[in-house]
Amino acid sequence: MKRMAAALAATFFTFSAQAAEPIKIGFITTLTTPAAAIGNDMVDAVKLAVDHVGGTIAGHPIELLFEDDGLKPELGRQKAEKLIRQDNVDVVAGFIWSNVLLAARKTVLNSGKLLISTNAGPSDLAGKLCNPNFFSLRGQNDMVPIALGKVMNERGIKRLYVMAPNYAAGTDMAAGVERTFAGEVVGRDFTKWGDDPQLDFSAEFAKVAASGADALFAFYPGRASAFARQFEQSGLAKKVKLYSVYTMDQIALPQLQEAKVDAVLGTGTVDYWSPDIDTEANKRFVADFKAKYGRIPSNYAAAAYDLIPYLKAAVEQAGGDISATDAVRAALVKADYDSVRGRYALGRNHFPIDRYRSLEVAADSQGVWSLRSDGLEMDGLTDPYVDACRNDG
């Protein structure tokens, strides 16, 4: 009896120790450089989500390990190696920038661990480089501009000028809007990006003014302040309608409002998410984020927030063991959780098939500049690279 009791006690102790082991989530984002505003918004959202789920997944405490990519692909790869080899995380997530994600992907996926992007969505990972262990919480890079091209068609835009930085996401964004825009693209400029990005757009704005464009499409994440100030100073706001993606967002709008850059009011964008989406999960997220941090969350924050309930639901649906990769993967594919955006499905490449909303920059009921839906929606858009993906599920 004593031996049996001792054996049972040992078994119980082992089970309890295993049950108490944390689920480690490595989160790579940008926490230095001017783009840190985006990374900090994501970090705040992830921490809020952990609070909202009670700090545990299937009885395991959640341990977050944040790493700064410094806006550099090679540094992002090094941080992924650290998280995998030194910290032994269960999941690597985050990523603002497509070039950083592409640099880090092999390290994570070759280890057999799950890789979940909360923002970056390069075309390669949606197509020929898709992987069963890679998932995205945002549509592939082209999708927002693809939807925006459709919106501009609905709004009667005939002549468009395109501006974006010259890196993976910038070229994807430009390709996306041109894929669906039915009018004439009268000019394109791809500006310098990286450690020393171009911040003087006077020459490009002069070309826009001379082009006869009805509208200007722009993609300048983390650089909205410089872009918007010069757009206003150029006088273009009186001549062309500005449409942007990942630029005039909740990261940039407080600074632009404080600086009284009124030219951004009424400008258009498109996204799968906005602060006014009427779901219970979104209302709680937005209200609690505002209460805790004193600001309206961004689209980057919304996707980062979703990471935690998404992973929690998948692990618990898979029986509570995050190391059971096949079962967790199958649950992630179902995306059966309370997303801030509402229910959605995944394509074969594990990118969302979303409803995209036409949004405009406007003052809310308290006079705070924000993004609000103007009523036009695009349903069930699938990215153009999925047919090149060979994932079985």
In a domain? residue 390: no
Q: Which residues, 6 or more positions from 11, have their beta carbon under 8 angstroms from its beta carbon? A: none
In a domain? residue 348: no
Judgement on whether residues 124 and 147 belong to the same structural domain of the protein: no
Judgement on whether residues 127 and 7 belong to the same structural domain of the protein: yes
Judgement on whether residues 104 and 171 belong to the same structural domain of the protein: no
In a domain? residue 350: no
Judgement on whether residues 83 and 6 belong to the same structural domain of the protein: yes
Instruction: Pull the structure tokens for residue 275.
Output: 């602060």
Instruction: Pull the structure tokens for residue 304.
Output: 């980062």
- Residues 84-98 as b/e (b if ≥16 CB within 10 A, e otherwise) read beeeebbbbbbbbbb
Q: In the prediction, which pLDDT does 393 show?
A: 52
Where do runs of H (alpha helix) occur along the chain? 2-20, 36-52, 73-81, 98-109, 123-126, 143-154, 168-180, 202-211, 224-234, 253-258, 280-293, 299-317, 325-334
Judgement on whether residues 264 and 336 belong to the same structural domain of the protein: no
* pLDDT (tens digit per residue) in 71-91: 999 999 999 999 999 999 999
Question: Does the global pTM surpass 0.85?
Answer: yes
Judgement on whether residues 58 and 133 belong to the same structural domain of the protein: yes
Judgement on whether residues 219 and 75 belong to the same structural domain of the protein: no
* pLDDT (tens digit per residue) in 130-174: 999 999 999 998 899 999 999 999 999 999 999 999 988 899 889
Given a cut of 90, is residue 272 above it in pLDDT?
Answer: yes
For 159, the 3-state DSSP assignment is strand
Confidence of residue 10 (pLDDT cuts 50, 70, 90): very low
Confidence of residue 378 (pLDDT cuts 50, 70, 90): confident
Judgement on whether residues 132 and 157 belong to the same structural domain of the protein: no
In a domain? residue 311: yes
Q: In terms of Cα–Cα distance, which of 87, 138, 146, 76 is closest to 113?
A: 87
Q: In the prediction, which pLDDT does 270 show?
A: 95
Is 167 within 8 Å of 98 (Cβ atoms)?
Answer: yes
> How many domains does the chain contain in total?
2
In a domain? residue 75: yes
Judgement on whether residues 91 and 129 belong to the same structural domain of the protein: yes
Quick one: average pLDDT of 234-262? Answer: 94
Judgement on whether residues 313 and 297 belong to the same structural domain of the protein: yes
Q: In the prediction, which pLDDT does 194 show?
A: 79
Judgement on whether residues 214 and 299 belong to the same structural domain of the protein: no
Which range of residues forms the domain containing residue 301?
2-139+278-343
Judgement on whether residues 207 and 111 belong to the same structural domain of the protein: no
